[in-house]
Structure 1
Amino acid sequence: MSLVRPPAVAGTFYPGQASVLLNDVTTLLTQARPGANLREPAPKALIVPHAGYIYSGATAARAYAELAGGRASIQRVVLLGPVHRVPVRGLALPGVDAFATPLGRIEVDQDAVAAIAHLPQVVVSRAAHAQEHSLEVQLPFLQAVLDDFKLVPLAVGDATPAQVAEVIEALWGGDETLIVISSDLSHFLPYGTAQAVDSETVQNMMQLNSSITHHQACGGTPVNGLLQAARQHHLQPELLGLCNSGDTAGDKSRVVGYAALAFRQELSDVQISH
């Protein structure tokens, strides 16, 4: 009998009814991609926010819309997000066979799990995943934009950027593997202050500067790990969207920041046929 991690925040962070959820996600993706500007190859990595869809869904959709060209080729998604409820040392696998959302099940990639199980920073914690929203809110978007893929879900706790980068490196693969980092930006600052802080944070990300603090981004640890790996692999970052909850569905006195970034191979690293 297979172990399935059921949805924990369906009906709160995003709609719990499949038809409503699919309609909402499809609408967000359509609005994010007004023209048929399919760019290939698809990004190797994304940084996306993880708040409720009314707050950050439009920003996340800007990143996921970039995957249209990789719908058939991407077969594995390495998804890393910070723990919010249960502390954990290292990077925690869920110890389950699949994750469920209202849109269906996503199988966990057991080959990938086996490939990183020997690393000392990789642990198993079903508790860390049970109520964690940072990974779950990404799943309906992935189910909408990709055909058939398997998941490597990692809840990131107390770890160094180098430890995160080592895990990402072990799972890097080729065009079949997408890396998604789930992170919001600053939390509960006044609107104008947040704009200034988040702008500086994004500039650091664009420069692949892997010294993002948790005050700048709640997912600073997995973000820094990706930025370290991105430097190693000469990825080119692109800012797709930047806003905060004061721009979407919240008041401006205490806001949370959201950014969407895509990371692609530099043109010099991509084979171009004439």
Structure 2
Amino acid sequence: MNSLRQSAVAGTFYPADPAALSSMVETLLGVARAERSSLPSPPDVTSPDITPNAAVPKAIIAPHAGYAYSGIVAARAYASLAAARDRIKRVVILGPAHHYPLKGLALSSAAAFVTPFGQIPCDAKSTEILSKLPQVQELDAAHSLEHSIEVQLPFLQKVLDKFTLVALAVGDATTDDISEVLAALWGGRETLIVISSDLSHHLPYTEAKNMDTQTQRIIEAMDPALIGRERACGRVAMRGLLGLARVRRMRIETVDLCNSGDTSGDKDAVVGYGAWHFYEEDTNGAKT
């Protein structure tokens, strides 16, 4: 690996100017942190209610639209990572391949991904691990225009210190394919898993709200078979995480649920956004 994967959507999905981007991301995270600090801790069991949690999640689902539309939802997904700022050293992101027909999952050959905040080195050891899995290939074309992974990066650069990146574009893959990849990269408390996905697309506001609420319940029930094409563009990676979360007896917290009609005001044809945290138990039964 000796190339750089340059930003494809700086200036469109988020500001290209570092100062403007910093101001936007810090403002969004500030709102999200204030909300979390003002609300009580949730009960120890999974609740359908949207509640905060002071623990640090092992995995998150976050949206990937332009920051003007889904930035506050993404910020609510990432705000809880502050407590692990020094601890998380590797981030694994799975995002759908919107622009390239892909079988399985694709890594980039780049040595680093670039945003207006600078370079994030790709994790060479993880690449070596993934090279042994038949569902993973190296394919730069799947990454060159892809926004689903890129839009997560400025938030991560703000909430974490130095970390390495495993960026996987996801195409046609089975739930077991994804679960196998995630299990191979799961690691310990130094590793964060991010699934990048929006929810329903281009439905009228009320219809979208109803569908996305159903999707929320499906995610909380860890039922990957029910995440269909109409529910989420990142459904393939979602299914893999949900399948593994069920096996690992993880706890899921719904952090936020809204759509572009809530953020832009246009309710004729909206896109849904959601944020979820996935927690695992340590050997003493405590949330980590």
Q: Corresponding residue for 1:13?
A: 13
Q: Structure 1 residue 137 and structure 2 residue 155: aligned?
A: no
Q: How does 1:26-105 map to 2 (within 5 A)?
A: 26-34=26-34, 37=37, 41-105=55-119
Are the equivalent residues in 2 in contact too, given 1:4–1:99 (CA < 8 A)?
yes
Q: How does 1:69-218 map to 2 (within 5 A)?
A: 69-211=83-225, 212-218=227-233
Are the equivalent residues in 2 in contact too, given 1:183–1:220 (CA < 8 A)?
yes
Q: Distance in 2 between matches of 1:216 and 1:36?
A: 27
Are the equivalent residues in 2 in contact too, given 1:47–1:181 (CA < 8 A)?
yes
Are the equivalent residues in 1 in contact too, given 2:88–2:191 (CA < 8 A)?
yes
**AA paired with 2:137?**
V
Aligned with 2:77: secondary structure? helix
**CA deviation after TM superposition for structure 1 residue 39, in Å:** 5.7
Aligned with 1:257: secondary structure? strand
**One of 246, 252, 274 as aligned partner of 1:237:** 252
Q: Distance in 2 between matches of 1:40 and 1:75?
A: 20
Q: Deviations over 1:22-74 (max 9, x none)?
A: 11001100000106749654100000000000000000100100111111100
Are the equivalent residues in 1 in contact too, given 2:36–2:53 (CA < 8 A)?
no
Are the equivalent residues in 2 in contact too, given 1:8–1:132 (CA < 8 A)?
yes
Q: Distance in 2 between matches of 1:35 and 1:86?
A: 38
**CA deviation after TM superposition for structure 1 residue 96, in Å:** 1.0
Q: Corresponding residue for 2:2?
A: 2
**AA paired with 1:258?**
Y
Q: Corresponding residue for 2:263?
A: 248
Q: Deviations over 1:138-183 (max 9, x none)?
A: 0000000000100000000010111001000000000000000000
Aligned with 1:97: secondary structure? strand
Q: Corresponding residue for 2:22?
A: 22
**CA deviation after TM superposition for structure 1 residue 258, in Å:** 0.1
**One of 235, 240, 245 as aligned partner of 1:220:** 235
More deviation, 56-65/241-250: 241-250
Instruction: Give the TM-score normalised by structure 2.
Output: 0.91
Q: Distance in 1 between matches of 2:54 and 2:109?
A: 34
**AA paired with 2:278?**
F
**AA paired with 1:196?**
N
Are the equivalent residues in 2 in contact too, given 1:194–1:256 (CA < 8 A)?
yes
**CA deviation after TM superposition for structure 1 residue 2, in Å:** 2.5
Would the alpha carbon gap of residues 249 and 179 (structure 1) be closer, same or farther in structure 2, given more than 3 Å must change? Answer: same
**CA deviation after TM superposition for structure 1 residue 269, in Å:** 5.6
Instruction: Give the TM-score normalised by structure 1.
Output: 0.96
Are the equivalent residues in 2 in contact too, given 1:84–1:132 (CA < 8 A)?
yes
More deviation, 250-259/130-139: 250-259
**CA deviation after TM superposition for structure 1 residue 270, in Å:** 3.7
**AA paired with 2:228?**
T
Aligned with 2:158: secondary structure? helix
**AA paired with 1:10?**
A
**AA paired with 1:18?**
P
Would the alpha carbon gap of residues 265 and 246 (structure 1) be closer, same or farther in structure 2, given more than 3 Å must change? Answer: same
Q: Distance in 2 between matches of 1:145 and 1:27?
A: 13
Percent identity between the two aligned chains:
52
Q: What is the RMSD computed on CA atoms of the aligned residues?
A: 1.6
More deviation, 243-252/47-56: 243-252
Aligned with 2:94: secondary structure? strand
Are the equivalent residues in 1 in contact too, given 2:121–2:165 (CA < 8 A)?
yes
